[in-house]
Amino acid sequence: MLSPTRFIGQPSRRIPLQQPRRATDCLRWTTWGLTFGPLWALLSELRQFLQTKPGHIVPKIIQRLSALFLLPLLAACAGGPSASISDAPVAGYGEVVDNGIIIPAVKPQQFVGSPPREEVNYAGGEASGTIVVDAHARKLYYVMANGRAMRYSIAVGRAGLGFKGSATINRKEKWPSWTPTANMIRTMPEFYAEYAGGLPGGLDNPLGSRALYLYRGGRDSYFRIHGTIDNRSIGRATSAGCIRLFNQDVIDLYERVPLGTHVKSRTIEESERLEGKLMEDEWGLLIPYDESRIEEIAAKRAINEQKLKERVAREAAEAAAQHQAGTLDTGATATN
């Protein structure tokens, strides 16, 4: 199986004598599928076409498409605005060894639109010790005393999938395991079935280095505040609904918050009053709202999506041709 981390610049490295974890496909679909929603239909059509091929070939071709083209292309897109950023490391975001796992440094380019954590003045009014999630501004605040707060950049769920209301942190885990939901396994068994028993913690796990589990009325809400295996997602609405931070940030937050911490989600009205009205640019990053740029951004985004669609189609054709010629690496021999 192709490992997504091999292509997204987040290698799963451990101290010598320890074995790397296996990779999961969760990130691949979350990152590009939710960012470029219309292209999901294209991939669905491709999957239907490939059902005519031998069973063991189908996931191999699709994995190749997603890993070799989609994630690197999104990386290029996200990196466009930051081409002139210095490569100098950012304090607090260097390489970290944690529980024998080496967490890669966050590249400075990945702070464009999603600034590093910072202690800031806070005017929200919540009590000290509260976590405030602003999905509309893609920020998380840990409220401190004397009108101060620690601010973190986050990735959030696309419209309709995000955390709303309030909750309590009733569980905390270091390097948590991850298990796909029954619905994920049912709808896409070729990607998720093998992880039905759970994926151990590590840099191949979509929950990253830490997870804070949100409960309502004593029951698990299935929302988490957690790390990431793709730093490029931070600052974007690309998650399946949870709140995602840089691994370095979620470690910092984990150490600050005790069990029982109250978590509140801001409404759009609260967000606009405190953060200002925002909109997405063509890369999916937030900028101040400017009605005069709406058509321009929509046109640029359409160009980006068309380029991605063309590259997906081109790679599909190449994969199909290689399969017909018997040169596609299937990783297994078909059996009757």
Query: Which residues are designated catalytic?
Result: 226, 242
Residue 150's DSSP bridge partners are 119, 142
Pair of tokens at residue 40: 């999901």
Nearest to 280, CA basis, from 76, 75, 78: 78
Strand partners, 178: 199
List helix spans (H) across 66-217.
Answer: 71-79, 182-187, 189-192
E strand or H helix that includes residue 142: strand 139-143
Nearest to 137 by CA among 251, 235, 239, 18: 235
Q: 203-222: b or e for each residue (b if 16 or more CB lie within 10 Å)?
A: bbbbbbbbbbbbbeeeeebe
Contact 263/129 with Cβ under 8 angstroms? no
User: Which tokens sit at 300?
Assistant: 């640029």
Q: Which pair of tokens denotes residue 66?
A: 């997603």
The tokens for 12 are 């799963």
- Smallest CA-to-CA distance from 156 within 130, 173, 137, 172 is with 137
Question: 153: which DSSP letter?
Answer: E
Closest CA to 234 of 132, 80, 107, 70: 107
> How many Cα atoms sit within 13 Å of 240 on the Cβ side?
16
Residues 26, 32: Cα–Cα separation, whole Å: 11
DSSP state of 178: B
